[in-house]
């Protein structure tokens, strides 16, 4: 999984911030973990659809 680097950099740029070389890779890992947890919660609730409440 890969976050959209251009969008993240754009967002940070609007906050007068820059992106460190390792930031996007770490963010990818965080997003992957969040998606896995949300999917697991949906399965626990006998659903195949992940909703905002699963985050």
List pLDDT tens digits, range 30-40.
999 999 999 99
- Of 54, 47, 3, 1, the C-alpha closest to 24 is 3
How many separate domains does the chain show?
A: 1
The pLDDT of residue 1: 55
What would the pLDDT profile of 2-51 be if each residue is shown by its tens digit? 778 999 999 999 999 999 989 999 999 999 999 999 999 999 999 999 99
Residue 14: helix, strand or coil by DSSP? helix
Backbone φ and ψ for 8, nearest 5 degrees, come out as -65, -45
* Separation CA 33–CA 10 (nearest Å): 23
Tokens 């754009």 map to which residue?
10
- Token pair for 51: 């909703």
């Amino acid at each position: 999984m890969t976050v959209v680097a251009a969008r993240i950099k754009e967002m940070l740029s609007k906050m007068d911030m820059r992106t460190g070389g390792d930031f996007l890779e770490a963010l990818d890992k965080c997003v992957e973990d969040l998606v896995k947890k949300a999917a697991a919660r949906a399965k626990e609730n006998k659903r195949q659809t992940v909703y905002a409440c699963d985050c």
